Amino acid sequence: MATTNGSSFLPEQDMLDPILGELKRTVREYTTATTESSCPVVRQMFTDLTADTLKLQGEFYTMMKQQNMYTSGPYALKYDVDKQHKQAQQSIQKAHDTINQKTAGMGTFSHSPNVASHATNVPPTSYM
C-alpha cells in the first residue's frame, strides 16, 4: 500500500517475511498431507504440490537474501550434516527392514531409497 507521497506503510521486508513464513508452513502441511494420504493419486498430488512449493520457497528465499532482507543462521559443519544424514539413512534402512519382515510372504513389496551414499572421512566444510 502506498501513501500519497509514494512511500509504503511498511518496509518491503516486513511485507515479504510473512510470505516466506507462509510458504514454509505450507510445505509442512503438504508434507503431512502426503504422509497421511492412502490414495496413490492424492499422495502424488500432494507430493507434487510439496515439490512445487519447496521450489517457490527456495526462489523467494534467494531473492530476499540477495536483497539483504534475510540473514541465514549459523553455518553447519559438513561433518555434522553428514552425521545427521547417516542417521537418517540408518532410520530409513530400519524402516525398510521392518516393512520387509512384516510383508514377507505377502507378495512383492520393495522399495529402495533414492539416496546417494556419501564419502566418509571428508574434511569439515560449512553449509548454509
Give the model confidence (pLDDT) of 60-110 as tens digits: 999 999 998 877 778 888 999 999 999 999 999 999 999 999 888 776 555
* 113-121, long-range: CB < 8 A, 24+ apart: 113/89, 115/89, 118/82, 118/85, 118/86, 120/82
Spatial neighbors of 23 by CB under 8 A, at least 6 apart, are 53, 56, 57, 60
Query: What's 106's DSSP letter?
Result: S
Three-point CA angle 105, 108, 109, nearest 5°: 100
Summarize the confidence of residues 24-46 as an average pLDDT.
97
d(CA 113, CA 75): 27
Between 10-14, 46-50, 85-89, the lowest mean confidence (pLDDT) is in 10-14
Cell 572421512 sits on residue: 121
d(CA 75, CA 115): 23
